[in-house]
Chains A and B, each alone.
Chain A
Amino acid sequence: MTTTVPRRSQKASFRDRLLRLAETVTTPLLPEDYLDLVAPLRAGGALRGRIVEVRPETPDAATLVIQPGRGWRGHTPGQYVRLGVDVDGVRQWRAYSLTSVAGAADGRIAVTVKAIPDGKVSNHLVRRTRPGTIVQLDQAQGDFVLPEATPARVLFLTAGSGITPVMGMLRTGLHTRADVVLVHSAPAAGDVIFGLELRALAGQGGLRLVERHTDTDGLLGVHELDDLVPDHAERETWACGPVGMLDAVEEHWTSRGVAERLHTERFRPTVISPGEGGTLTFTRSGATVEADGATPILDAGENAGVLMPSGCRMGICYGCVLPLRQGAVRDLRTGDLTTAVPGDGVLIQTCVSAAAGTCDIEL
């Protein structure tokens, strides 16, 4: 039987026709512009969420519990969500790991944010956000997740807010299915995000917790792992923390010949070599701006008033990708040069790419 197919398309075209009719009523606005006034979280609208609770975790970290709109498609523990927040009237997008249980009965999700010094968005979220605020959301993304077949032995290596994606995995009951070791670094006991919950879990025998308080004990050296977790090279490992730590960990796992067992999530781009700079032209908006070789194209465009798509601003979420019609850009993390001529259809991440010559960006 093929009846379902035409019926479905009929339904769709009826909806489309209805929508087109509604548009003739509201033009030049769209029906959604009016619906947004009364039902910002409805299905079919732009994905948004309402903050229902702001829960302090440590002196400089807080969990935001969010009721996502009807269009939210759920997440896998370890993934992150892009959050669009208005700070001082300016829409800012950042990516944060989801720390809530996947598929919670009330449909709510949570992210945990650590205020970083001079962090415009993180300080706003931790200290000034009130319940009731509407935020813009994107669907959950990221491949810092557990495989379908849970490995028997797992090691998590985290530092600071690097605990957040791991917490999502633990809260979904990973420790009941696997032998888990968590080695976590924070300046002091009071700075450990989810400290009480982790210690309680360890106390019940759910996991082995190694806390490293770096104010008193110094940074964790990767060589110390041989003593702390003798079987670490045999464990499926997820590491999340500052760049220096991840670089050391990657080198260590590679030298042991087990790089395939290591999964990392990077929070900040590493700037290696600045490009040469050049003139950026945004072909559709017509804006032109001189950008130096150290400024991401995203920042240069925003400063010139171009409405740039953006996301994590650290090269991981691909929310800022735009076609480079022609020109050359340099990846600020690796120093790699990417060039394009018309017709190539080269896509670049504007948040980690700087002009390395004259560039035409399609926007």
Chain B
Amino acid sequence: MTVIQKKAVNPVAHLSAEDIEIIGKELDAIRDRVIADRGERDATYIRKVIKTQRTLEISSRAVLLFSLFPPAWFVGTAGLAVAKILENMEIGHNILHGQYDFMRDPKIHSTTWEWDHVSPADQWKHSHNQLHHTYTNVVGKDNDLGYGIMRVDEDQKWHPMHLGQPLWNLLNACFFEYGIAAYDLELGRNLQKGRRKAPEFRARARAVGRKIRRQVLKDYIVHPLLSGPSFLSTLAATFTANLIRNLWSHSVIMCGHFPNGVETFEKTSIEGETRGEWYLRQMLGSANISGSKLMHIMTGNLSFQIEHHLFPDLPSSRYQEIAPQVRALFDRYGLKYTTGPLPKQVASAWWKVIRLSLPNRHTAQPGPAAPALVASQPA
């Protein structure tokens, strides 16, 4: 893709400034309706998910105490992988967005929550909630566009390092939580000479070090030790569960902004941006994943990435409810609501990573594995 401002056919050219403000008002109205209705149902929902996740995690870990027996290994590993996915996606990500702060429960609050992840919650909240959600898809501002190690937009400058980016992406997928921790630390920038000794950076690096130590101690030492003779098999099980969780969350997150059909924006385009224009950028800068209810829960409802980016602090289970209204708004204003099944979206995102590992050809054309995923009719 190319930043929207340089495209031959600008997909928002047909909208007047007034239209954009009306879109903003309509979205505000959708948000207000959810907020007016937000309450006990949402509290019950998140408590139920938390209870399910904790029960699943503790029982899977109990089964893994006997991981020498292959059936116990498989059941325990699968259970732990699901528990870790739920914890990161539907619980951690969403609570850290403040989606459940309205409950005023100190146990379920963005300021007190810590997640099963090597990046400490406060650092992740800064890089994700404040930077990525504010500057979504603005080339040069939103580091989520390639995480600083990849080129995922024609308007990002090519560098020979990008030749290896399919490999970097695969490694990042396998060790995604470490990738995120490094990203939240802005390692690429902060390891440069003169920056690496800054006290603020060092304090943050120490916090990450502590978090990694605790996570590793739990997953790779304490639980294997508790398993006694099953030490090695439990270690392998926990590693596998973390690997599955990493691959899954990496795939889901790649689908949010990298698939074909998602627009990017020029740095200067957000100067003096209005609320309506901000909304429009979120609408065009995100992509959904279609699928079953279970799939939505396992993605932490990030399968409703468009709705999430419009309203990052609404309870995640509401995204599915408002999606038809949001989609109707896209249709009414002739905008493309990018969505597709998971394998298709993952393939599209990967194709972009592979394609843009090479410098731009003069006529940048989408590759064969990336058909246009424009859906203008409700499915």
Query: Using a CB–CB distance below 8 Å, which chain A residues touch chain B?
Result: 24-29, 33-34, 37, 86, 88-92, 285, 302, 305-308
- How many angstroms between the C-alpha atoms of A305 and B215 in the bound complex? 30
On chain A, the residues within 8 Å of B223 by CB distance are: 25
**Residue ID in chain A nearest B55 by CB atoms:** A37
B99-122 vs A, CB cutoff 8 Å, 1 = contact: the mask equals: 001111111010110111000000
Known A25-B222, A37-B51, A37-B54; contact A91-B114, beta-carbon cutoff 8 A: no
B15 part of interface (Cβ distance < 8 Å): no
From A28, A88, A90, A305, give the contact of B114 (CB < 8 A): A28
**Residue ID in chain B nearest A28 by CB atoms:** B114
B38 part of interface (Cβ distance < 8 Å): yes
**Residue ID in chain B nearest A305 by CB atoms:** B101
A91 touching B55, Cβ below 8 Å = no
From B39, B54, B109, B112, give the contact of A90 (CB < 8 A): B39
On chain A, the residues within 8 Å of B54 by CB distance are: 29, 33-34, 37
- How many angstroms between the C-alpha atoms of A306 and B104 in the bound complex? 8
A302 touching B55, Cβ below 8 Å = no
B374 part of interface (Cβ distance < 8 Å): no
On chain A, the residues within 8 Å of B293 by CB distance are: none
Which residues 80-128 in B have Cβ within 8 Å of A in the complex? 98, 101-107, 109, 111-112, 114-116
Known A89-B39, A89-B102; contact A27-B214, beta-carbon cutoff 8 A: yes
B41 part of interface (Cβ distance < 8 Å): yes
Contacts between chains A and B (CB distance < 8 A), count: 64
Known A37-B55, A89-B38; contact A25-B226, beta-carbon cutoff 8 A: yes
**Residue ID in chain B nearest A89 by CB atoms:** B43
B37-74 vs A, CB cutoff 8 Å, 1 = contact: the mask equals: 01111111000000100110010000000000000000
What is the minimal beta-carbon distance from B158 to any residue of chain A, in angstroms?
38
B218 touching A27, Cβ below 8 Å = yes
Known A24-B214, A33-B54; contact A307-B109, beta-carbon cutoff 8 A: yes
A-B contact pairs, 9 of them (CB 8 A): A24-B214, A24-B218, A28-B214, A33-B107, A88-B39, A89-B43, A91-B105, A306-B111, A308-B104
What is the minimal beta-carbon distance from A97 to any residue of chain B, in angstroms?
24
From A33, A89, A306, give the contact of B42 (CB < 8 A): A89
- How many angstroms between the C-alpha atoms of A44 and B226 in the bound complex? 25
- How many angstroms between the C-alpha atoms of A3 and B217 in the bound complex? 37
Known A25-B223, A37-B51, A88-B40; contact A307-B106, beta-carbon cutoff 8 A: yes
- How many angstroms between the C-alpha atoms of A34 and B54 in the bound complex? 7
What is the minimal beta-carbon distance from B110 to any residue of chain A, in angstroms?
8
A307 touching B104, Cβ below 8 Å = yes
**Residue ID in chain B nearest A22 by CB atoms:** B222
- How many angstroms between the C-alpha atoms of A338 and B39 in the bound complex? 36
- How many angstroms between the C-alpha atoms of A52 and B103 in the bound complex? 24
A89 touching B44, Cβ below 8 Å = yes
From A26, A28, A89, A308, give the contact of B115 (CB < 8 A): A28
B128-150 vs A, CB cutoff 8 Å, 1 = contact: the mask equals: 00000000000000000000000
Question: Which residue, of B43, B111, B214, B217, has the highest number of chain A Cβ atoms within 10 A?
Answer: B111
- How many angstroms between the C-alpha atoms of A37 and B115 in the bound complex? 18
- How many angstroms between the C-alpha atoms of A72 and B222 in the bound complex? 35
On chain A, the residues within 8 Å of B104 by CB distance are: 90-92, 302, 307-308
What is the minimal beta-carbon distance from B125 to any residue of chain A, in angstroms?
10
On chain A, the residues within 8 Å of B42 by CB distance are: 89
What is the minimal beta-carbon distance from B40 to any residue of chain A, in angstroms?
4
From A25, A28, A90, A302, give the contact of B116 (CB < 8 A): A28
On chain B, the residues within 8 Å of A90 by CB distance are: 39, 43, 102-104
**Residue ID in chain A nearest B107 by CB atoms:** A33
From A24, A26, A302, A307, give the contact of B112 (CB < 8 A): A307
What is the minimal beta-carbon distance from B101 to any residue of chain A, in angstroms?
5
On chain A, the residues within 8 Å of B116 by CB distance are: 28
- How many angstroms between the C-alpha atoms of A29 and B55 in the bound complex? 13
What is the minimal beta-carbon distance from B296 to any residue of chain A, in angstroms?
21
- How many angstroms between the C-alpha atoms of A89 and B101 in the bound complex? 11
**Residue ID in chain A nearest B117 by CB atoms:** A28
A305 touching B98, Cβ below 8 Å = yes
What is the minimal beta-carbon distance from B65 to any residue of chain A, in angstroms?
12
On chain B, the residues within 8 Å of A305 by CB distance are: 98, 101-102
- How many angstroms between the C-alpha atoms of A44 and B278 in the bound complex? 48
Q: A25-B226, A90-B39, A307-B101 are in contact. List 7 more A-B contacts (CB 8 A).
A: A25-B223, A26-B218, A29-B114, A86-B105, A90-B104, A305-B101, A307-B104
On chain B, the residues within 8 Å of A33 by CB distance are: 54, 107
On chain A, the residues within 8 Å of B112 by CB distance are: 307
A34 touching B43, Cβ below 8 Å = no
On chain A, the residues within 8 Å of B98 by CB distance are: 305
- How many angstroms between the C-alpha atoms of A28 and B41 in the bound complex? 27
- How many angstroms between the C-alpha atoms of A333 and B51 in the bound complex? 43
- How many angstroms between the C-alpha atoms of A104 and B93 in the bound complex? 46
A25 touching B218, Cβ below 8 Å = yes
